[in-house]
């Protein structure tokens, strides 16, 4: 297979788009034509999301600038990135700042420092939710969205936006660390959270030019051993000098660029995204085009037969088909029971896993808070309560947010696995309709449609931990007057009550969000299924009614209609052939890789 997957991906994506346009011109059926814009929209809007992660001062922003080939994101000797920044492709450089209150502000690229840097926006005092940058970089033309993140050593530092919107939706991540020092305990702790929930992580050893060849080999070997233990398998580290790569791009020095390691890494990232997400994207859209073609060809076979039978037979067929569809729709109600069973199984799974986890971790949370109280003698009693409050927030998030992310990912996967079974049920129902129609019209057979991936995504939205206001039980001004030992003892006792209360409250809310999310997805599934049933029923019913009307009007010019149909079938067969070639290429690519 040609190793330049990017060219094939872009060419095949564009070719599929053109084939859908052609298909829309060839197929006269209005119901089927309505499906085509959905496929075209999907082909146009698909993007790959690459999230860049790492601790402070590992060179993440410089790495992104190197990918872009320009100094877009601010860099400095002190920690810079304070908020999340998305970089999309656009014809002109632009930037938009989104605030927590909901408003947005257009700013110039050179003003980004005012909003994304720790120096100009310390601890995000300007309440920036995220920044979206548009830039005409070649790498972004390939449908890539790059996400720059704050340096994170602990989940609680940036949990809301990072964990909810980016980690679980990343197609891949780059974890940047540097040659000196090697992986820290904070980095290893963060990786333990990332590894179970992100499909693939590329490990990048930045600032590799700081070391000579022998020392670099030792550092890579040392860190590789650590990473292999974390991922429980083989891993690869890409050595890189992001700064050297950026300078080489700006000066157009090809030799220095290759020496920086940037081109090799760019190729590795592109190939991974295309071999995994891109391959699925092409194959699934090719499959959807194929289904439209096969559905139409089935209708053509029914139409050809309708031209040869009498009005009485057509009316009889219409009555039988209508009765059959009513029966199908009644029987299809069992899908709602299957979906309800899926929901209940996932809720039971959630309850069992969460009960075990809380039982295992609740005492650890108490011990950590008690440890903080015992080692806070230098903090006055007046300031200790706010300190404990913030510590409880941080400890709860650090202990439980990684679990929340893992169980959310597991539930999504289990949900999608269960849905695949129902996809088979749906496909069988559709094929049964065509089979019944073929028997009704005495056609030898119709094309059996293949099972397709369901055309919606399950997305559950959970709020992360909010324990502000959780310590009302110990917010008693009179406690401050107590001796330190008694103050500490009462604080610990009340903390134990608060921990149990808040954990129960948080997991209850999490379960409630899960319940409503599953209900919403089940409704969507049933709606989409009923839309398909109604469309097919309408197509076949309208076909029969049309020929009843034509025959009543004495229309005899069926030969001309047949010639038109044969011409259209030939064009659709050509489209199917082109689509199948594209699909075969990417299926072969999967076999090779």
Q: Are residues 383 and 247 in the same domain?
A: no
pLDDT at 448: 60
Q: Are residues 237 and 351 in the same domain?
A: no
Q: Is residue 378 part of a domain?
A: yes
Q: Is residue 302 part of a domain?
A: no
Q: Which residue has the higher pLDDT, 563 or 88?
A: 88
Q: Are residues 201 and 341 in the same domain?
A: no
Percent of the chain with pLDDT over 90: 16
Q: Are residues 160 and 61 in the same domain?
A: yes
Q: Are residues 239 and 347 in the same domain?
A: no
Give the domain extent around 230. Answer: 48-260
Most confident among 384-388, 536-540, 568-572 (mean pLDDT): 568-572
Mean of pLDDT values over 476-493: 70
Q: Is residue 585 part of a domain?
A: no
Q: Are residues 240 and 369 in the same domain?
A: no
Give the model confidence (pLDDT) of 236-258 as tens digits: 899 999 999 999 999 999 999 99
Tokens of 235: 């891993």
Tokens of 143: 């449908």
Q: Are residues 215 and 346 in the same domain?
A: no
Q: Are residues 238 and 349 in the same domain?
A: no
Q: Are residues 99 and 206 in the same domain?
A: yes
Report, in angstroms and rounded to the nearest whole number, the Rg of the chain calculated over CA atoms: 30
Mean of pLDDT values over 515-525: 82
Give the model confidence (pLDDT) of 402-414 as tens digits: 787 788 888 888 8
Task: Choose one of 244, 260, 276: the last residue of a domain.
Answer: 260
Give the model confidence (pLDDT) of 82-136 as tens digits: 678 899 999 999 999 988 777 888 998 888 888 887 777 777 788 888 889 999 9
Percent of the chain with pLDDT over 70: 87
Q: Are residues 244 and 352 in the same domain?
A: no
Give the helix ranges, DSSP H, for 134-175. 159-161
Task: Choose one of 196, 228, 260: the last residue of a domain.
Answer: 260
Contacts by 375-382 with C-beta closer than 8 Å and gap 24+? 377/484, 381/479, 381/480, 381/484, 381/487, 382/480
Task: Choose one of 238, 260, 282: the last residue of a domain.
Answer: 260
Residue 481 pLDDT class (50, 70, 90 cuts): low
CATH of the domain at 248: 3.40.50.300
CA distance 574 to 539: 23
The DSSP bridge pattern shows strands 94-99 and 104-107 to be antiparallel
Count how many domains the chain has.
2
Q: Is residue 27 part of a domain?
A: no
User: Is 90 exceeded by the pLDDT of residue 581?
Assistant: yes
Q: Are residues 360 and 498 in the same domain?
A: yes
CA distance 42 to 26: 21
DSSP 504-551: HHHHHHHHHHHHHHHHHHHHHHHHHHHHHHHHHHHHHHHHHHHHHHHH
Mean of pLDDT values over 191-214: 86
Q: Is residue 549 part of a domain?
A: yes
pLDDT at 446: 62
Give the model confidence (pLDDT) of 50-91 as tens digits: 899 888 778 888 999 999 999 988 876 555 556 788 999 999
Q: Are residues 530 and 418 in the same domain?
A: yes
CA distances from 99 to 81, 103, 110 (A): 16, 6, 19
CA distance 296 to 26: 10
Under DSSP, the state recorded for 169 is T
- Find how far residue 559's CA is from the centre of its chain: 51
Q: Is residue 168 part of a domain?
A: yes
Give Cβ neighbours of residue 376 (< 8 Å, ≥ 6 apart).
Answer: 384, 387, 388
Q: Is residue 579 part of a domain?
A: no
Q: Is residue 466 part of a domain?
A: yes
**Does an H or E element contain 585, and which?**
helix 558-592
């Amino acid at each position: 297979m040609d190793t330049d997957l990017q060219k094939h991906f872009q060419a095949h994506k564009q070719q599929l788009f053109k084939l859908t346009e052609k298909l829309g011109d060839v197929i006269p059926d209005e119901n089927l034509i309505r499906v085509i814009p959905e496929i075209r929209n999907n082909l146009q809007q698909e993007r790959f999301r690459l999230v860049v992660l790492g601790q402070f001062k590992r060179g993440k922003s410089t790495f992104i600038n190197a990918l872009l080939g320009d100094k877009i994101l601010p860099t400095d000797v002190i920690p810079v990135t304070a908020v999340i920044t998305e970089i999309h492709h656009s014809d002109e450089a632009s930037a938009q700042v989104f605030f927590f209150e909901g408003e947005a502000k257009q700013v110039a690229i050179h003003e980004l420092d005012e909003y994304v840097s720790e120096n100009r926006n310390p601890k995000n005092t300007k309440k920036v939710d995220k920044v979206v940058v548009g830039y005409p970089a070649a790498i972004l033309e390939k449908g890539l969205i790059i996400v720059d993140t704050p340096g994170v050593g602990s989940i609680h530092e940036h949990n809301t936006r990072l964990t909810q919107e980016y980690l679980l939706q990343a197609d891949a991540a780059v974890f940047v660390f540097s040659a000196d020092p090697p992986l820290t305990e904070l980095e290893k702790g963060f990786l333990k959270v990332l590894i179970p929930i992100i499909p693939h992580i590329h490990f990048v050893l930045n600032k590799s030019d700081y070391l000579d060849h022998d020392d670099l080999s030792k550092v890579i070997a040392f860190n590789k051993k650590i990473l292999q233990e974390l991922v429980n398998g083989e891993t690869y580290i890409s050595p890189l000098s992001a700064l050297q790569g950026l300078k080489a791009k700006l000066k157009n020095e090809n030799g220095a660029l290759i020496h920086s390691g940037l081109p090799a890494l760019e190729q590795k990232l592109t190939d991974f995204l295309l071999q995994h997400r891109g391959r699925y994207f092409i194959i699934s859209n090719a499959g959807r085009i194929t289904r439209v073609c096969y559905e139409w060809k089935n209708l053509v076979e029914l139409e050809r037969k309708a031209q040869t039978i009498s009005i009485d037979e057509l009316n009889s067929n219409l009555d039988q088909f209508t009765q059959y569809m009513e029966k199908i729709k009644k029987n299809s109600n069992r899908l709602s029971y299957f979906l309800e069973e899926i929901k209940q199984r996932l809720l039971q799974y959630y309850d069992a896993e969460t009960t075990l986890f809380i039982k295992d971790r609740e005492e650890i949370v108490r011990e950590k808070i008690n440890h903080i109280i015992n080692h806070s003698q230098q903090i006055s009693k007046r300031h200790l309560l706010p300190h404990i409050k913030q510590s409880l927030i941080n400890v709860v998030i650090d202990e439980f947010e990684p679990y929340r992310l893992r169980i959310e990912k597991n539930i999504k996967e289990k949900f999608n696995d269960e849905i695949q079974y129902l996809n088979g049920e749906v496909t069988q129902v559709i094929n049964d309709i065509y089979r019944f129609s073929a028997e009704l019209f005495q056609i030898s057979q119709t094309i059996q449609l293949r099972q397709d991936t369901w055309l919606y995504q399950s997305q559950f939205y959970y709020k992360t931990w909010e324990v502000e206001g959780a310590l009302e039980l110990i917010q008693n001004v009179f406690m401050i007057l107590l001796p330190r030992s008694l103050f500490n003892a009462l604080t610990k006792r009340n903390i134990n009550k608060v921990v149990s209360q808040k954990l129960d409250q948080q997991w209850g809310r999490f379960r409630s969000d899960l319940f409503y999310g599953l209900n919403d997805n089940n409704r969507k599934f049933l709606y989409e299924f009923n839309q398909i049933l109604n469309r097919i029923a309408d197509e076949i019913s309208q076909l029969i009614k049309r020929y009843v009307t034509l025959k009543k009007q004495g229309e005899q010019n069926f030969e001309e209609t047949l010639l038109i149909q044969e011409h259209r079938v030939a064009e659709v067969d050509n489209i199917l052939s082109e689509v199948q070639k594209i699909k075969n290429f990417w299926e072969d690519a999967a076999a090779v890789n």
